[in-house]
Structures are given as C-alpha cells and as structure tokens.
Structure 1
Amino acid sequence: MRSVVIVFFILTLSQNFLFAQEKKHSRVMPVHPSYVLPVKHTRADSISHTVPQIKYVYQYLKNTHINNPATRYALDNLKRDRYKYYELSRAIRILRDYAENEHIKYMLNYVRTYFETVKAKEEAIAMIQERISRDSLDFYRANPELDSLHLLDSTRYDIFLNQDLEALLAFMEQDENYQWMKERSRDSVLITILGASDRSKNIWLNTGRAEYHRMMTENFVGDSIGGWIKVMPRGKQIKFLLDNDVYQTRRFAFRQEQPEECLLVASDSAYFVLAEMKIGTIERRHWTYYSDVSLSFGQGFISSNWASGGENSLSILSDLKYFATYKKRSTTWENSFRYRLGALKSGSEDLSKNEDKLEIQSKLGVKAFRHWNYATQFDMNTVLFNSYNASDRETVIANFLSPGNFTLSLGLDYKPKDNISLYLSPIAGQWVYVRDTNSVDVTRYGIEAGKRYKSDAGAKIELKNKHTLFKFLNVDNHLMLFSSYYEQPEKLTVDWRLTLNFRINYFMQTSIYANAVYNQNDSKKIQFKETLNIGVHFRF
C-alpha cells in the first residue's frame, strides 16, 4: 500500500510539471483581418453578387519603327488629306505604304546580315569539298600504299566518299534560296572587258574568292601579248598580269629563245621615235554668240454651210533673234538684233502684213562698283516693208526708215544677274526720222510738215528681266520709259513688251506676245497688240 501511494504521488507531480511547462511556453497568435476578398460567382438571378471584371486595353501605335516624330505626324496628315490630282494621290500613297511598312526594316536587316555571312558559307563549302577530296578516290590514287585491299579495282567508288558531307553539299547546290542570295550578295557590277580580238569577257568584281581570266592585249604597232586578269577575293579590285616569256604577233607566237630569222626588223628606226608633244595655248573666249528662231502658224477653217458664219483664216509669224556679247575684265559690250515678220490671210482677202518690226540695240558698259556699270546705249527700230492703212489698204503709213526711231543715252546700268538689267539714264537723246516723205505723212509721227526729222532730249529708264517658271514657262519682260525735258510732263512715252513662251517639247512651244505703247505723237490713246501662236523654236 505504501508503494502504491508513492507511485501515485510521483505521477501527480509529473503531470503538474508538464502542464506548467506547456502553460509557460504557450503563445496566443492574434488574428489579423484578411485583405483577400472571396471571389463570388455571378448568378443569373442576382445582380448584387456581380464581380467587377478587369479589362486589359492594348493600344497599337503605328509607325513606331520610324524614329523621327515629324515624319510620323506628316504620314498621318497625308492620310487624311485629299488631293485633286489622281497622279499625285497615287504617288503619295505608294510612298506612304512604303514608309508605314515596318516589316521592310526587319526583313532588310535580316537580308543584310545574311549577305554578310555568305562569304563564311562559301568558305565552309570549300572546306567540306576539300575534306571530301581527301577521302575520295583521288586521295587513294595519290597514295597507293594505302590500298592494300585493292579497293580501287571495285566499281563502288562511292564507298570512299563521306555520304553525309555529300548530302549537305548537294542540298546547298540545289537550294534555290541560297543560290539566289549568293548571286545578290555579290554587291558588285558585272563589267565587260574586250580583248585584242574584241571578244568580251564578263567579270564579277566581288566573288569572295580569287579568279583568273585569260585575255589578249594589243599595242599601237599591232603586236599582241597574253595576260591574265585576277579578281581579288576582297572584291572591287582587279589585277592585270602579263606573260613573262610568251609574245604573240599577228603571224608568229614564240618564246624569248626565238631564231634570228623570226626577229622583227623595222625598215625605219624613226618609226619607234615618239613624236614631239605640242602644247597648245589656252585663251579665254571673250565673244559669245547665240540666236533664237521661232516659226508660228495659225489656221482656221469654216465650211460654207456653217450656220454661225465666219471666214477661213491663215496666219504665219517668224521671230528672229541674234545676240553677240563681248566681256573682258571690267568691260561689257552687249549687242542684240531682233526682227518680227507676220502675215495674215482672212477669207477672200489678199495676204496682208500684220507684223513688221526691226530692232537693233547696242550697250557698252564699264564696271563702276558692285553690280553697277557706267553705260551708254544706242537703240533703233523701224519697219522693212510697206505698211498700209487698215481702212483703205492703199495709203502707205510706214516703210523702211519711215519712220526710223533712234535713241542715244548715257547712264548707269544695274545688273545683279545676267537675266536682270535696270538702266537709268538722265541724259538721253531721241530722234524720229522719215526717209520717204512723199509716201508717208510726217505729221503722223509728230514732225512738222516740210521736215524729215524731229529731235528731243530727256530721261530714260529701261527694265529687262527674264525668268523661268515651273520649268516650262519662260517670261521675257521689257519696259522702256522716256520723259522729255521740252515737252509737257504728261507726254510720257511708254513701250512695254511681254513674251510668254510655254514649252511643249524641245522644238515646239506656244507663245503669247503682248505690246502696249503710249506715245502722244502717234495717238492720244494707249495702243495694244497681242498675238497667240504655236510653232517650232530653235536655238543656235
């Protein structure tokens, strides 16, 4: 009984010790709120349980392969704009499609990289071919001691070849893509070299390996010599090599040890002497000449039963120009000659003259400063044939030097370019001369009756400019103003000429010529004349 009590007491103490240890080391973990919400499925019968859906938006930006933002902005604008001309819209669309195609950039980068590796592929093919040749029939024939089994007598020559390498080479030779890339990767120009016999030899400068081409060359005497053209492996380089011991003439080909009877002997030793070189002298050309010739035609036909009426017409106009200019240091002398002659036939009337004017101008200038020149100028204009009154067709109103207008002036010429000239003359003399006083009324041109000429003095301004617009339109403008010191200020003489030449092709052009004149000696009103013609144009 005593033993039972002791055992019970020990068990009780051990149990209390275990509980005490568990209570001493136990910790209470706090419960934190969860931030993960449970996912609730959407029910068809309940809207309150709908779970919001997350949408991923992927926006594709165009033309990101173009680095310049201004170009991307321009492409967007061009796509929205509408142009009137179909050809222009089509051209813009073609270039825009090319610029917006991002695949071209990556494709060309790949092709460019592929081209750079073609040479490595060719070297790999050459290495494999060399390896096959070592294992081939030629290798065993060059080393008969290796053929102890007499395999060379067998008909199975392919047993000496490496079948795997042969299959790889066959694939490279038959692959169309590789062959196409190989041809395009040469990055060179196919050149043709002609030999002594005019036989052509086509050579690629970039083949990736050294190549030799045979050729024959010929000297001035007529002898030919053989040689070689070596294409360097690096490409775009060729080297010429001549034979050292073989020479060829028109009849013989022999070595340096040729017999004496085959030696060429010249009958005259002077034949091989170089002629004396003649050195020419270089001289500057001071005179320049050129001329323009224009022939224009006009025609109109109306049938006899044309309801609106009218008359047939035919017109022809010729415009001849000749220019001669002398330039030496600071001196310039410009001379021009121009003659316009035209005829018109309308209906049943006879052929009549509708244009007749001869103009001669000469201007001598000496450089003053910058674009200004001291200049003196002489002008003359008249007609060559009789001109009749439009009302009666019998009264002669003008003929050669009746009248003849002459002007001599002194002033400054501003010429910043060859096609622009502004002439300012404070001293200018003007004369009107009538040669034929019997046929021509001198009072018509402001000359007193019984006299042949009239003189005047004043100031003159003349402007000349020529321009080319739109590559097909040539504008020739000529304006002349003359103010007399003796006459009233309102008696200002103005002569303005404008020529528009529309170029059709190299020989043909359409021209519009307008001439406005205000001269109170001739008429109180402004005189105006205009012609429109199409014809041929030549420049010599």
Structure 2
Amino acid sequence: MNVERIGRYTKRKLRKRIIFANEMFGLQRNTFLTLLFGLLLQHFAWAQDSTSYWKFKSLYSLSGTQTSFVNWNAGGRNNISIIGSANASAYYTRENIKWTNDVSFALGGIKYFDNKGIGAQKTDDRLELSSTFGMQLSKGFFLTFASTFRTQSINGYAYPNDSIPVSRFMAPGYLNLALGADFRKSDNFNFFFSSIAIKSTFVLDDSLSAKGSFGVEPGMRYRQEYGAYLKMKFNRPLAKNIEMKSKLELFSNYLNNPQNIDVNAELLLLFRVNSLVSASAQWNLIYDDDIKITDANGNIGPRTQFKSVIGIGLSYKIER
C-alpha cells in the first residue's frame, strides 16, 4: 500500500467516523446499539483480512466472597458477592498507520440472605470502548483521531432507596471525539492531546433528563461541550507477577468555566499467583464540574468521586 492510497483510505475512514458521531447525537437506544455493534463487527472483519498486522491482548477475571454467621454475637449479615470483568485490546500496525482499540467491561453485585433491608445491590458496573486511529508524522508522533465511549449496563440506585433509579444504561453515557497529536513510545505508553475536542453527555431516560441529571438542561437528552482534551495511558510490569495499568483523561470546556477541568483517572494493579489465580486492586477517581451531588448535610455541588475495588479470584489471559 503506497502513501497516496493510505491517504485516501484514512480520509474515507475519518469521514465515516465523523458522520457516525454526528448521527449518534440524536439516536435512540436501539439504533445506537445497532450502530455500535456494527462498527465493532466492521473492525473485526478488517482484522480477519489483515491478521499479520494485528496484535491482541485480553484478560478475563471473576472474583467473589461468601460470608455466613451462626449465633455470631458481634452481628453480621449472610451474603455473597461476585465481580466479573473483561478487558481486551487490539493493535493494528502497518507502515505509517497505527490503530488501537480497547474494550473494558465490569459488573458486580452483593446479595444478602436475610430480611433486613436491601437484599441485593450493585457494587461495580462499567462499560467502556475506545479507539484511536493515527498516521505517523515522525518517529513516535502521530496525527490521531480518538474516540472514547463510556456508560453502564444496569440500573443504579441511591441505597437504601431501591425503587427509583438514579442512573441507567446511557443515562449517563459519555462520548469524547478529538483530533490531535499522539506521542507513542510503545503499546504500553501514549500521550494524546487535542485542542479540537467534543464531549457529549447522553441522558436517554425521560425522568432523569427532566431533572437535569448529569449536567444536561432539564428536559434535554444530551449535552455537547467543546474544548481541549488530554489522555494518557501507561501500562508496565512492576515485578515478575505484578502488572500495572493506568489511565488519565482531562477535559476543559472552552465556553464554560475552562479552569474547572473534568478528570477521569484509573489505576489497576494485577497480582498473578499462577496462570488461573490472581488478585487485583483498582481505584477510580472522577471529577465533573457539571455533575451536582448532594452530600450528607444536604449541600448540593460538584464533588470528587472515588471508587476502589479489591478482590481475589480466577483470571485468564490471552495474548497473540
């Protein structure tokens, strides 16, 4: 494939992605899912035609705990908890083209086996897809189009109230589109910056959109912001059986309080005991100036959100 053909092909791909992004702003849930899975199938179809240019990595894990009490004086509730996750990456490299795709999914819950309050509740729920398509300008530097999509799978509740959802699939949903410069030292490290970025927030639930949840105007189903976007990924082994994965995303809205930067940071430590048993510790920090949260004293305003998940269980890694 010569340079001219690569240029024509890249322009066609960029036009298709831009058309896809513009159309998606007004889609309903079923249409959105159809287009999303269609895009994924297109990716895999291309992979089948060019397998020698692809590298794949995936990690699947399942962990859980079970606790029971009989005449336990200190008290406690019988329960079982399970968390499952899947993380996969596909890398395409050919001449001056580099294409990286990542999928991350996690779902977990806890079930109490008594009649005291809430019986079951969600403990983790994450669905994220990202794709970067770049043309190399010089060694390690790429002109890149980047996209990131993030949402959840099932309803979320503000316990102990388990009758009215405070979040659903695509409520919220986040889509970032950006064109910028990408520095890649290897598949384990990249630094991307764009001064031309769009952040879209979707709230495809009538009751939540009517309340103006997640920063949308009351009654609106989505919100667009224009600004600067930075994304950094760094993965590396810390020791023989310890692996670290980290990610940082920053977004500044040009038109509304640009000094208040949205933050999404993740850190994962994976401790491998053997080929099937592993332990993991994950931390996630989020700050979004447009999301108002009520604290214990009834005060409403933007807050720093923090989540940690620590577990031990089964895991299986595929790499080729």
TM-score, scaled to structure 2:
0.76
Aligned counterpart, 1:345: 111
Note the alpha carbon deviations across 1:169-193, whole angstroms, 9 max, x for none: xxxxxxxxxxxxxxxxxxxxxxxxx
Larger strand fraction of residues: 2
The residue number in structure 1 matching 2:100 is 334
Correspondences of 1:412-451 after superposition (within 5 Å): 412-438=181-207, 441-451=210-220
Confirm or deny that 1:457 pairs with 2:235. no
- Partner residue, 1:78: none
Structure 1 position 316 matched with structure 2 position 86: no
The Cα shift of 1:347 comes to: 5.1
**For 2:207, what is the secondary structure of its paired residue?**
coil
Q: Look up the match of 1:519.
A: 288
- CA shift, 1:489, in A, is 3.2
Question: By how many angstroms is 1:400 displaced?
Answer: 1.7
Structure 1 counterpart of 2:54, one-letter code = W
Please tell me the residue identity of whatever aligns with 1:297. Answer: G
Report the equivalent of 2:263: 494
Q: Counterpart of 2:33?
A: none
- Aligned pair partner of 2:73 in 295, 307, 310: 307
Q: Whole-Å Cα distance in 1 between the matches of residues 245 and 134 of structure 2?
A: 22
Tell me which amino acid in the other structure corresponds to 2:307. K
Residue 529 (structure 1) aligns with? 307
1:229-240 alignment, distance < 5 Å: none
More helix per residue: 1 or 2?
1
Letter aligned with residue 502 of structure 1: F
In structure 2, distance between residues paired with 1:441 and 1:378: 28
Alpha-carbon distance between aligned partners in 2 of 1:387 and 1:297, rounded to the nearest angstrom: 20
Alpha carbons of structure 1 residues 284 and 358: separation in structure 2 relative to 1, 3 Å: closer
CA distance in 1, matches of 2:65, 2:267: 20
Quote the Cα distance in structure 1 between the aligned partners of 2:226 and 2:150: 18
1:397–1:441 Cα contact (<8 Å) kept: no
Partner of 1:358: 127
2:69 touches 2:76 (CA, 8 Å); kept in 1?
Answer: yes
**CA shift digits 1:378-429 (9 cap, x unpaired):** 1111112121222311111121211211110011111112211111111110
Deviation at 1:519, TM superposition (A): 1.0
Deviates more, 1:507-516 or 1:396-405: 396-405
Counterpart pick for 2:56 among 289, 293, 306: 289
Amino acid at match of 2:310: L
Distance 1:294 1:525 in 2: 31
Distance (Å, rounded) in 1 between the aligned partners of 2:79 and 2:62:
17
Aligned AA (1:489) = P
Identical positions, percent? 28
Given that 2:144 and 2:182 are in contact with CA atoms closer than 8 Å, whether structure 1 keeps it comes out as yes
1:233 maps to: none
Alignment of 1:401 with 2:167, yes or no, is no
SS of structure 1 residue aligned to 2:166: strand
| Number of the residue aligned with 1:199 | none
For 1:489 and 1:455, the matched residues in 2 are separated by 14
User: Aligned to 2:212, what secondary structure does the other structure show?
Assistant: helix
Higher relative contact order (CA 8 A, sep 6+): 2
Moved over 4 A (4+): 439-442
Q: Residues 98-117 of structure 1: matches in 2 within 5 Å?
A: none
What are the superposed Cα offsets for residues 92-143 of structure 1, whole Å, 9 maximum, x if unpaired? Answer: xxxxxxxxxxxxxxxxxxxxxxxxxxxxxxxxxxxxxxxxxxxxxxxxxxxx
Cα distance, 1:439 vs structure 2: 5.4
Partner SS state of residue 135, structure 2: strand
The Cα shift of 1:454 comes to 0.6
Residue 322 of structure 1: CA displacement?
Answer: 2.2
1:358 deviation in Å?
0.8
RMSD, aligned CA:
1.7
User: Which residue identity lines up with residue 436 of structure 1 in the other structure?
Assistant: D
Task: Name the structure 2 match of 1:21.
Answer: none
Corresponding residue SS for 1:396:
coil
Which residue identity is paired with 1:533?
G
Output the CA distance in 1 between the equivalents of 2:191 and 2:290.
26
Q: CA deviation at 1:470?
A: 2.1
Structure 1 counterpart of 2:251, which letter? Answer: F
1:441–1:344 CA distance, 2 compared to 1 (3 A): farther
For the residues of structure 2 that align with 1:412 and 1:300, how far apart are their CA atoms? 50
1:330-389 deviation per Cα after TM superposition (whole angstroms, max 9, x unaligned): 101111111110011235242222211110101001111121111110111111212122
In the alignment, the residues of structure 2 paired with residue 423 and residue 435 of structure 1 have an alpha-carbon distance, to the nearest angstrom, of 30
Instruction: Provide the rounded CA distance (Å) in 2 between the counterparts of 1:405 and 1:291.
Output: 24
Q: For residue 138 of structure 2, what is the aligned residue in structure 1?
A: 369
Q: Distance in 1 between the 2:74 and 2:165 partners?
A: 35
Q: 1:441 to 1:478 in 2, by over 3 A?
A: farther
Whole-Å Cα distance in 1 between the matches of residues 187 and 109 of structure 2? 34
For the Cα contact (< 8 Å) 2:65–2:80, is it kept in 1?
A: yes
Which segments of 5 or more consecutive residues in structure 2 lack a partner in the other structure?
1-49, 294-301
Cα distance 1:343–1:284, how it changes in 2: closer, same or farther (>3 A)? Answer: closer
TM-superposition CA deviations, 1:473-531 (whole Å, max 9, x none): 11111111111101113421001111111111111111001111111222422111111
Once the two structures are superposed, residues 451-479 of structure 1 have per-residue CA deviations (whole angstroms, 9 ceiling, x without a partner) of 11111011111110111112121111111
CA contact (8 A) 1:517 1:528 kept: yes
2:46 counterpart residue number: none
Amino acid at match of 1:399: R
Name the structure 2 match of 1:73: none
1:439/1:456 Cα in 2 relative to 1: closer, same or farther (>3 Å)?
A: closer
Query: Secondary structure, in 3 states, of the residue corresponding to 1:397?
Result: coil
